[in-house]
Structure 1
């Protein structure tokens, strides 16, 4: 029935078909179900889709994206949300929420090295940088939330700061190590990708902000631990007294385990328990038999993360090592 309606629209409307909000929502859900990565796709039918096509005033776009974070966060009850934007809108951030990276005079980097260029662009757009300290004075730090950087119809880049009420962050602590809280590590609750496009037809595509939820290993093994990101493991290993442990790398492995525990503990205390990789993979594996046969890409580093390879049923499944698996709508 849906295909017949769209076909009728094509016959009666000159130019490319403009989807209704209902059709757009269905397209977004199917696109997520058929994505080449992400192990939360079991819930693709429950994706909440917001239609902001036609909204081109930069202030209104920024307000709509801030509302996306509110809808997705729900005081810790995270839900998957997609906000479809007007084709003339461009979000320069790779995610709606991200931390600044400042290159220091001595060549070191304060904050997230991934966002050095984005931080420079934000400062040029008028963002003052830093977080309020000591009665309002702004001081750059390792976890300064970047503003939204928007450009509409190829106009100037405009920076919009996100209010703290819209960005749910969790300070990390460990139940067994009191010193862990003093490290000052933290992370945000909602990963909202903002450089994707929803292709409704071959000629019609919309910018889209899409948010799901973190699996604990993403924060523990990538964002905070990666040597090209925050590189927190050597610092944690020193606090554990494991620096220089033998065999080579044992201290860093122990630090990664402690960081993973701290994330699960801290997010749990905040009312959010990010699923472990193995638990999420179990759910994903139950999802696969529901798919209709057909070629479909798979991005293995995401579908089978490092900590879960030996304990997740996915690692032993029939498509182990393949670049494509048989599952499609």
Structure 2
């Protein structure tokens, strides 16, 4: 039987494992399930007398392979998804820590980056994630995916080309504290201008080719394709925020997938949406808005806590 020290050491890997699982699935709930399944597998193996020399490697391999299987079965669901698909948002309050698993992820995977990864096959995504995002060596990647090192090098090169072809490589590693502070300040000005109907202020904060992506899952009114360009985006935002103000909707700042953003609350305090801002060079380059209620159920915040 594993001792308490072994159990505590293995439990310490949860933040990393959640990050890998979330990067593979784009789903908070499913990522948590995959991590739990990996730990159950570890427990069963030990109970059957298997000596686990490296629990971290065992758990990483288990989560990676569970993620690959998940993606293979999820492809049909993704192909029939109504409207734009965005990952479930990972939301952290701006003024206090969130769950340890989510906190470690916060600086790793933006929504834009996860959308780019949708172009990859399940194995390509696993290899690319482990190597590019988490810095695993090829020997470790090969062990986790069940491929040879040579094959992993080829898969990684192909995956990197496909990601780059889908758009510029999105920065996903943590920003320096001063950059984070700048982003948070810009986000506050942005949401204040939107709520106040200040078109000129909004136009000055948006990049010329800014894009707005909205995921409702077909369960709320939305346009079918991403909206591009300063003026169309500003006009839509002003209309949305004007209606929100009439209905008593309020916004609270939050960190969303490691980017500045906000959580939308209805008048009764329920979460109705999450907005993430991709900010580069002091300008909002993209806006990702998740309004599908199925992707918001995991958010445990209220208007006074966000």
TM-score by length of 2: 0.26
Based on CA coordinates, which of the two structures has the bigger radius of gyration? 1
Name the structure with the higher strand share: 1
Name the structure with the higher helix share: 2
